[in-house]
């Protein structure tokens, strides 16, 4: 898959580790992040990456900031993006199967590199469920997104 990755300064060190894991799994990485630890603003990165995912230019996205929270909030403002901060493997699997999440967010200051690698592996390996009850709930979210 083509995986969009983006980060602010606080997410940069973890992004470097996780990028290696994503590439080792055979995915292509498209980079939207800053490449230093100089301070920058997470919404700038989140929105550009999210638009690329929503447009289908990338299959899935992974965002990193200090906590993973700001990136999730900003990414979820882009129509067609369903971002989930997952810092355990169960949450990552559920975010994909039940919620159809297409962007994963991490906190560079809140999760260690080994667990982050496991979480991203689960997220990328899990397909959204086609169970009607999950699809029905996702449609309700999309209706709100569309202003309904």
Instruction: Pick between residue 66 and residue 113 the one whose CB is nearest to ligand RB5.
Output: 66
Active-site annotation holds for 98:
yes
Q: Does 105 bind ligand RB5 (CB under 6 A)?
A: no
Q: Please list the helix, strand and coil fractions of the chain in percent, rounded to the nearest 5, in that order.
A: 50, 15, 35
Sites for ligand RB5 among residues 34-63 (CB under 6 A)? 42
Catalytic residue among 40, 89, 98, 134: 98
Q: Which two tokens stand for residue 144?
A: 């709100």
Contact residue for ligand RB5 among 3, 4, 5, 10 (CB under 6 A) = 10
Residues 12, 42: contact at Cβ < 8 Å? no
Q: b/e string for 123-143 if b means 16 or more Cβ within 10 A? A: bbebebbeeeeeeeebeeeee
Contact residue for ligand RB5 among 13, 43, 66, 113 (CB under 6 A) = 66
Contact residue for ligand RB5 among 34, 50, 67, 105 (CB under 6 A) = 67
Only one of the segments 46-54, 65-73, 97-105, 113-121 lies at the binding site for ligand RB5 (rule: CB under 6 A); that segment is: 65-73
Active-site annotation holds for 65:
yes
Residues 125, 97: contact at Cβ < 8 Å? no
Q: Does 8 bind ligand RB5 (CB under 6 A)?
A: yes
Catalytic residue among 65, 86, 89, 134: 65
Residues 9, 36: contact at Cβ < 8 Å? yes
Q: Does 65 bind ligand RB5 (CB under 6 A)?
A: yes
Q: Which residues contact 143 (CB under 8 A, 6 or more apart)?
A: none
Instruction: Pick between residue 66 and residue 128 the one whose CB is nearest to ligand RB5.
Output: 66
**Residues with catalytic annotation?**
65, 98
């Amino acid at each position: 898959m083509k995986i969009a990755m983006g980060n602010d300064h606080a997410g940069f060190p973890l992004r470097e580790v996780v990028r290696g894991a994503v590439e080792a799994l055979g995915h292509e990485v498209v980079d939207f992040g800053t490449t230093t630890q100089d301070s920058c603003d997470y919404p700038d990165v989140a929105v550009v990456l999210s638009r690329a995912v929503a447009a289908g230019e990338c299959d899935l996205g992974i965002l990193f900031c200090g906590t993973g929270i700001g990136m999730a909030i900003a990414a979820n403002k882009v129509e067609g993006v369903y971002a989930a901060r997952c810092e355990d493997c169960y949450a990552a699997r559920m975010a994909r199967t039940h919620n159809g999440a297409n962007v994963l967010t991490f906190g560079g200051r809140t999760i260690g590199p080994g667990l982050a690698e496991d979480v991203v592996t689960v997220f990328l390996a899990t397909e959204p469920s086609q169970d009607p009850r999950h699809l029905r709930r996702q449609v309700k979210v999309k209706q709100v997104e569309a202003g309904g």
